[in-house]
Amino acid sequence: MKVLVIGSGGREHALVWKIAQSPLVTRVFCAPGNPGIGTIAECVDIKVDDLQGLLSFAKREEIDLTVVGPELPLSLGVVDLFEEYGLKIFGARRNAALIEASKAFSKEIMKKYNVPTAAYDVFTEVEPALAFIERHGAPIVVKADGLAAGKGVIVAQTAQEAQEAVRDMLSGNTFGTAGARVVIEEFLKGEEASFLAFTDGKNIIPLASAQDHKAVFDGDQGPNTGGMGAYSPAPVVTPAIHEKAMEEVMRRTIDGMAAEGRPYRGVLYAGLMIDGGEVKTLEFNARFGDPECQPLLMRMKSDIVPVLLAVAQGDLAGVEIEWHDKAAVCVVMAAAGYPGEYRKGDVINGLDEAGRIDDLYVFHAGTALKEEKFVTNGGRVLGVTALGDTVESAIEKAYEGVAAVRWEGVHYRTDIGAKAVGKKR
Ligand code: AMP
Ligand code: GLY
């Protein structure tokens, strides 16, 4: 089989790495990929939003399965287009991917189908939004409706901060049209977890639990990023929480989407807030989480290709996934300045040394090749991901890898996985 993966981040590197291990697969392509991916697959220079380019490549190469990494091509309708031409593709169709592309839409689905979430309201005008914030007080959360690369959410500690965020977003200055509508919602406390499931629109197969670390600095301080590290399993997802997440979040949402005439096929990612045995949904994504995908795929024992194929063909019945009874931890190494403006072009040293560590893999996210050397080329540069018998040993191993790698101004959190230590699985 020939497989094409669309995307260029750590998530796609992990997908390519896992797919390439399948005995069913003869060739793996990645569009556009990155230099790390290029060491294990064939990168093709087609951008993720060039749907026609992707389609002609898949037709020309007779690709048997295409796997979509990021949200942008999903929300542009890449799955619909490929299906129109009879090509197998893993991902949500455009009308289902709206669950990520519009926060107002996803809140509406949650409300209509009784999926637990924070109380909220939607605004397009400044004055009523300011008045709403005045009435409810802080802390309060302001979200740009559209896609904003994980940065469109302001958890405001004061009413003034929330009001400023509303003005910025609705004026179109910060997020362009993505901010033309805002969701303002109740602040939820608790511990977050990432809950992902494969679905063909009817059958639901959960992935192992995971937890992301969104804030840029240790102790969850500083602004939110796309994710500074992740681990799996997440002990906060106890069997009782797992059950609730499956019934109250996944089942209701997937049935709801079907009832709306937007059958959801692909991987559905629910960002959960867990508090006192209750589960609430912070958001949905129509794709694998990044970095969560890295530790998750490292723990997946089963071949992923039959699962992806079954989803693409709309029949997951009878499919099962086995997981390694180990923990995996991914530490993101980022460029100086991220998530603000960051440096590019710094030479990355120590990759060979890290590569010699057992049960550890360095996934590339934002790298480039310059004069045959890997250099930094993105905010999140690498995802150093390790497997261990316990979360403690996986943490130790991941940081052993991190210590081997260096470049000027490198930044990473030193507490990835700390929340899981000492908690029973
Ligand atoms: P989202 O993209 O909606 O998941 O929001 C990004 C991050 O903002 C989440 O991972 C949470 O850390 C935080 N967040 C979002 N909504 C809320 C909320 N209602 N209460 C508290 N924190 C939130
Ligand atoms: N790690 C968060 C996300 O993928 O949205």
- Among 282, 283, 290, name the best residue to mutate to test ligand 1's pocket (greatest count of ligand atoms within 8 A of Cβ): 282
How many Å lie between the centroid of ligand 2 and the Cα of residue 289?
Answer: 4
Mean pLDDT of 294-308: 98
Residue 272 Cβ inside 6 Å of ligand 1? The answer reads no
Please give the distance, rounded to the nearest whole angstrom, from the Cα atom of residue 233 to the centre of ligand 1. 21
Which-ligand-closest: CA of 271? Answer: 1
Structure tokens given for 237: 């997802």
Judge contact between 121 and 184, C-beta under 8 A.
Answer: yes
- Confidence band, pLDDT 50/70/90 cuts, at residue 54: very high
pLDDT digits 0-9 by tens, 322-356? 999 999 999 999 999 999 999 999 999 999 999 99
| Residue 174 predicted with pLDDT over 80 | no
Atom of ligand 1 nearest to the CA of 143: 3
Average pLDDT over residues 390-418: 97
Output the pLDDT for position 424. Answer: 52
pLDDT of 269 reads 98
Per-residue model confidence (pLDDT) at position 147: 79
Q: Cβ distance 197 to 268 under 8 Å? A: yes
Compute the average pLDDT of residues 246-265: 98
Q: Whose CA is nearest to atom 8 of ligand 1?
A: 153
pLDDT beyond 80 at 154: yes
Residue bearing the CA closest to ligand 2, atom 3: 289
Domains, the chain, with CATH or none: 2-93 (3.40.50.20), 125-180 (3.30.1490.20), 191-312 (3.30.470.20), 327-420 (3.90.600.10)
Q: What percent of the chain has pLDDT over 90?
A: 92
**Ligand 2 atom closest to Cα of 283?**
5
Examine the pLDDT at 417 and tell me if it is beyond 60: yes
| pLDDT tens string 92-124 | 999 999 999 999 999 999 999 999 999 999 999
- The answer to which of 21-35, 93-107, 136-150 has the lowest mean pLDDT is 136-150
Res 371 pLDDT > 60: yes
What tokens were used for 278?
């209750």
Tell me the best of 285, 287, 296, 363 to mutate to test the pocket of ligand 2, counting ligand atoms within 8 Å of each CB and taking the most.
285
Q: What is the mean pLDDT of residues 226-231?
A: 96
The whole-number average pLDDT for the span 57-68 is 98
Mean local confidence (pLDDT), 121-140: 94
Least distant ligand from the CA of 210: 2
Atom of ligand 2 nearest to the CA of 287: 4
150 lines ligand 2 (CB under 6 A): yes
Check if 12 has its Cβ closer than 6 Å to any atom of ligand 2: no
- Give residue for tokens 């996944």: 250
10 in contact with ligand 2, CB cutoff 6 A: no
**Tell me: the pLDDT tens digits for 277-295?**
999 999 999 999 999 999 9
- More confidently predicted of 350 and 170: 350
Q: Are strands 380-388 and 360-364 parallel, antiparallel or unpaired?
A: antiparallel
Q: What is the pLDDT of residue 149?
A: 67
Q: Could you give the 3-state DSSP secondary structure of residue 137? A: coil
Assessment of whether the complete model's pTM goes beyond 0.85: yes
Q: How far apart are CA 200 and CA 209, in angstroms?
A: 20
184: which strand partners?
A: 121, 142
Residue 419 CA to ligand 1 center (angstroms) comes to 18
Q: Which of 415, 357, 413 is nearest to 391 (CA)?
A: 415
- Ligand 2: residue whose CA is nearest its atom 2: 289
Predicted pLDDT of residue 362: 98
Give the residue, out of 155, 212, 213, with the most ligand 1 atoms within 8 A of its beta carbon, to mutate for a pocket test: 155
The answer on pLDDT for 150 being more than 80 is no
Mean pLDDT over each residue of the chain, to the nearest integer: 95
- 321 CA distance to ligand 2 middle (Å): 22
pLDDT for the residue numbered 135: 93
287-326 burial, b at 16+ Cβ within 10 Å, e below that, comes to bbbbbbbbbbbbbbeebbbebbbbbbeeebeebebeeeeb
CB-based contact 47:53 (threshold 8 Å): yes
Express each pLDDT in 2-21 by its tens digit: 999 999 999 999 999 999 99
Helices (H), 21-101: 51-60, 71-76, 78-84, 94-101
Atom 5 (ligand 2) nearest CA: 289
Decide if pLDDT at 261 tops 60. yes
Which tokens in the block code for residue 179? Answer: 């901010």
